Amino acid sequence: MIITINQQKLRRAISALEKIVVRNLSLPILQNIALNTDNGRLKLSSTNLEIGINYWIGAKVEEEGSVAIPARVLSDFVNNVSDEKLTITTKENNILINSNNYKTQILGFSVKEFPIIPKSKTEALISLPAQQWRKLFGAITDSAALSDARPELTGVRLGVVAGFLEVAATDGFRLAERRLGGDFISNFNGNGLIIPRATVQELMRILDGQETELVAMTVSENQIFFSTQESELVSRLIDGCYPDYKKLIPEKVVSRLVVNRTELEKGVRLASIFSSGVADIKLCIEKNELRIAAQNAARGEVNARIGGELKGEGFTSAVNYHYLLDGLKIIEGESIALEFTGDGGPLVLKGEKHSQALYLIMPLRS
């Protein structure tokens, strides 16, 4: 293989690929990134056997070939090279990377041992511009469960509800839900998919900075594919039934307070300094005013007051401040509506005007 490529492009490709490369002692080949020439482009691949990524970048190909390079070495090297053009030449399993100022030889492996990354063979279900996907999935993985006790909760559910494309994630303590309207869902029948959180995070990483490029989603045989012109991400889906989270969203609202997002966030962050071991802060709402209080036996206490607009009676609720801050990342708009649904019931966060997203927190009992 003899190719010449742009360092910036290579760097971008590697940063998209390297996060899923994990230390794997039983199959050391997985710690590599595979390089293949492919129709006048260079194809880079990495996988951990749960997620696989192919990434294509333009290159001047003088001689076809393939090789696997240890991901860490390649990434550290490319990040520190300052020359713009790199020439990659392989001799057996040795990789020579040369540029104006550097001459490097990296020990690689034969690509024969490298797993084959499955390709999508069916038609795309949904095609959306990258920015739409980013908007849909943004910050949603925060709410998915970390513990493996219930595998289905570790993923993000994607489904179609009433003509909207809808994502949801919950760990049992809070629930995030966001929807997207449009006429793109003709092919997608309603059965929900559960996408592993790592897959969604990886997708966000690949799509970072991209705006209008189309990203197609394909599902076949328990696998999900996200493809763009220059990359393809494949992952397994999580088996299992996602709980019926709609039941959790209360229909009745007792009172509703509208506050400014920035002030609320500031108040919560301030109170968080004095929260106790379970990260609890107290929200007391009375007469168009929100008081955020927290006290810690070892540190002290704080009271922050924020003006707002209240409909209904005042209320008091104790919540985990991490959940509240995560929620603010889900909800759009400058005005945030806090809805109280009765004692012991969840607290619901919505945008005052935008109804595309919803976030629900179970209160702490005291």
Residues that bind another protein (CB under 8 A): 26-27, 47, 49-50, 52, 115-118, 149, 170, 172-173, 221-223, 234, 236, 239-241, 243-245, 247-248, 276-278, 280, 297, 344, 362-366
Considering the complex, state which of residue 134 and residue 340 has its C-beta at the smaller distance from another protein. 340
Buried b (16+ CB within 10 A) or exposed e, 261-283: bebbbebbeebbebbeeeebbbb
Cβ distance to another protein smaller for residue 115 or 333: 115
Q: Residue-wise over 189-223: b if at least 16 C-beta within 10 A, else e? A: eeeebbbbbbbbbbbbbbbeebeeeebbbbbeeee
Q: Which is nearer to another protein, 249 or 273 (CB)?
A: 249
Angstrom distances, CA of residue 295 to CA of 20, 275, 282, 283, 303: 41, 6, 9, 12, 9
Contact assessment for residue 34 and residue 42, using Cβ atoms and an 8 Å cutoff? no
How far, in Å, CA of 345 to CA of 164, rounded? 27
Smallest gap from residue 280 Cβ to another protein (A) = 8
CB of 240 to another protein, least distance (A): 5
CA-wise closest residue to 42 among 111, 94, 129, 103: 111
Tokens of 353: 């005007």
Residue type, 160: V
Please, what is the minimum distance in Å from the beta carbon of residue 49 to another protein?
5
Residue corresponding to tokens 């109804």: 355
Judged by CB, which is closer to another protein: 58, or 240?
A: 240
CB 176 within 8 A of CB 143: yes
Residue 188 vs 245, nearer CB to another protein? 245
Nearer to another protein, 95 or 348 (CB): 348
212 Cβ neighbours under 8 A, 6+ residues apart? 129, 130, 131
DSSP state of 252: -
CB of 320 to another protein, least distance (A): 9
Residue closer to another protein (CB basis): 223 or 316: 223
Q: Give the contacts of 268 (CB within 8 A, at least 6 positions apart).
A: 281, 292, 321, 324, 325, 328
Nearer to another protein, 153 or 180 (CB): 153
Instruction: Give the nearest distance from C-beta 144 to another protein in angstroms.
Output: 14
**Number of helices followed by number of strands (H, E) in the chain:** 6, 26
* Rounded least distance, CB 351 to another protein, Å: 24
Closest approach, Cβ 119 to another protein, in A, equals 8
- The least CB distance from residue 40 to another protein, in Å, is 24
